[in-house]
C-alpha cells in the first residue's frame, strides 16, 4: 500500500473519540457505524450511510446494511484479517461493527466504537468478543 493510510491506521487515529449514537465526527463522537463510515470515506470508497437506526438493530437490519454496502463482500469469519469488518451480536442479532486490527503476538485485535467502553477502543479479540462475531466483510475494490 505504500504510504497510503490503511483502514486500521484511520481507525487508530479515532481512538478515544467518545461513543455517541449515530454520530459521525472523529474526535467528537462516533458509534460503530460512524467509525465504519469515517474509515470508508477516508479510503475514498463507496459506502451507504444508514440514518435513523435504533441503538440496538434487530431483525437483521445491520446485516442487511452490510450486505448492501457497494465496496464490501462477505467472507468467512475464520478468514478475517486486518482491515476486515466484523459484524457482531451483543445480545442476539448482529448489532455491532468492529474493524479487525490485525494480530499482536499472534492474538487478533479489534478497533470499535463501543458504548460499553465509552468510546473508540483497541483491544484483544478475546474469547468473549470472538464468540460475538457472526459475519465478516472485506473491501472488494
73 close to 134: Cβ distance less than 8 angstroms: no
Query: For 4, which DSSP code?
Result: S
User: In the beta sheet, which residues pair with residue 135?
Assistant: 87
Q: Residue 126's pLDDT is what?
A: 96
Q: What domains appear along the chain, each with residue ranges and CATH number?
A: 7-139 (3.90.1720.10)
Element (H, E) at 134: strand 133-139
Q: What was the pLDDT predicted at 57? A: 77
Global pTM value? 0.94
Query: Residues in the chain with pLDDT < 50?
Result: 1-2
What is the predicted pLDDT for the residue at 53?
84
Torsion of CA 136, 57, 107, 104, to 10 degrees: 90
SS3 140: coil
Angle at 43 between CA 37 and CA 47, to 5 degrees: 40
The reported pLDDT for the residue numbered 3 is 55
| Whether the Cβ atoms of residue 37 and residue 113 lie closer than 8 Å to each other | no
pLDDT of residue 1: 42
DSSP run (H or E) holding 60: none
Amino acid at each position: 500500500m505504500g504510504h497510503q493510510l490503511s483502514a486500521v491506521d484511520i481507525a487508530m487515529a479515532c481512538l478515544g473519540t467518545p461513543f455517541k449514537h449515530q454520530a459521525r465526527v472523529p474526535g467528537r463522537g462516533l458509534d460503530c457505524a460512524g467509525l465504519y463510515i469515517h474509515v470508508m470515506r477516508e479510503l475514498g470508497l463507496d459506502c451507504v450511510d444508514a440514518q435513523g437506526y435504533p441503538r440496538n438493530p434487530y431483525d437483521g437490519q445491520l446485516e442487511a446494511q452490510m450486505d448492501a454496502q457497494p465496496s464490501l463482500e462477505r467472507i468467512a469469519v475464520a478468514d478475517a484479517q486486518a482491515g476486515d469488518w466484523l459484524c457482531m451480536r451483543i445480545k442476539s442479532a448482529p448489532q455491532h461493527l468492529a474493524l479487525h486490527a490485525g494480530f499482536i503476538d499472534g492474538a487478533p485485535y479489534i478497533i470499535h466504537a463501543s458504548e460499553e467502553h465509552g468510546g473508540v477502543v483497541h483491544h484483544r479479540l478475546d474469547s468473549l468478543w470472538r464468540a460475538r462475531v457472526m459475519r465478516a466483510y472485506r473491501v472488494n475494490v
